[in-house]
Structure 1
């Protein structure tokens, strides 16, 4: 059965999905700011980085940030949904399915999140709370985001969203007649409910930091598995403790 699933996941629509995720990671790697350049910018100030890439408070600046957050969302969130995508594709043996439509609806939700995150980054940059890289300049902001993400790990809303992600068959069958696109949007909304707070930790770990993105993707993927129930609460405690430490001692 596992061998059959592996063969099915080599179909053209799966290869296209893998290619999309890989392309997002490659583009992010090309756009990522090296740690040494970040350090130079801290020493010489924001004007140093403005010579390379300016976060401008206009439509062009917003568009650049939206593209960056859209790539981050595609690279980080699509892998976390692979088990749900595979479950949906398996249902195609007994009924008609449309995986591209499902994935399209799912990514549409995260493109919307990318727009909100880009706007938030512009506002934080204008207020002087984040650098031109999108990294937090405020211990209170960093600590607040960490505590928020940690507290959200214990919320009933997040638990309800995670339950749906961990039981994709039940989720899809409950809304099957809505079609692939609507199911994709619904799945994207559920994943957004799980992961928005962790995604915003990019302002703490470093927007466009490959290390942060890789670690966050791994954590979010593991949490959506059934065994992830053992990760959620310890992670929440760790984030709250880290957030309080950052807020009090920086």
Structure 2
């Protein structure tokens, strides 16, 4: 039988994706369908970040982080659930809370970055790059980071969750969740920032990025895709720099 904590976790993932999908619906369709809170969604998604305000942009990034990152860490949560046979639900909430706190911090930073880039007219009101050189730089950073020792160290922990939890088993669930979140952030921050290339509100980018980051953390698949992904990103950066688009 699936525990309540798992139902809540899957519910958070589905609710985040459903909210992002609703936000991506064109304003005229929202109004026509009379979606609940249509005015709120329109204000959140279709006006420029300076009018929407930092808080709403941060909320959007928090939803993105929840929708995209929780699926990538499901194997780690399952490993923890297997290890923690007693009081599993209580400790599971602590673990998940620590993980979300780290990505909430990333969401706040990413929202501030989006506001700054918009201020300098480097991204549009929807968060996609207006500057070829910004896109080139982000692709190059993400591609180069694929070959870094820090990325490899973080991936090695994400790919071996049992070893990770046994190493820090004496710590509180919240602290382990913070560690797990920081490790996950070390794996994925550069790929997440490619949202400014693919479009912050692009469901296609979110779906593809979630799939890539999830597969990269699987030991049997991820070890074969990290470097090719790095070469692909660096190649895309080079092509964009030479071609101008």
TM over 0.5: yes
> Which of the numbers 148, 168, 187 marks the counterpart of 2:161?
168
The change in CA–CA distance for 1:247 and 1:73 in structure 2 (over 3 A counts) is same
Counterparts of 1:40-189 in structure 2, within 5 Å, are: 52-56=46-50, 61-93=53-85, 96-97=87-88, 98-189=91-182
Contact 1:144 1:247 in 2 (8 A): no
Q: Distance in 1 between matches of 2:123 and 2:194?
A: 12
Q: Structure 1 runs of 4+ off > 3 angstroms?
A: 49-52
Per-residue CA shift, 1:174-198, capped at 9, x if unaligned?
1111110000000000000000000
Residue in structure 2 matched with residue 239 of structure 1 by the alignment? 233
Residue in structure 1 matched with residue 186 of structure 2 by the alignment? 193
Structure 1 stretches lacking a partner, 5+ long = 1-6, 38-48
Alpha-carbon distance, 1:24 to partner: 0.3
Structure 2 stretches lacking a partner, 5+ long = 30-42
Q: Distance in 2 between matches of 1:195 and 1:104?
A: 19
Q: Distance in 2 between matches of 1:156 and 1:105?
A: 25
Report the RMSD for the aligned CA atoms in angstroms.
Answer: 1.9
Q: Secondary structure at the match of 1:81?
A: helix
Structure 1-normalised TM-score? 0.87
Contact 2:45 2:126 in 1 (8 A): no
Q: How many residues align?
A: 226
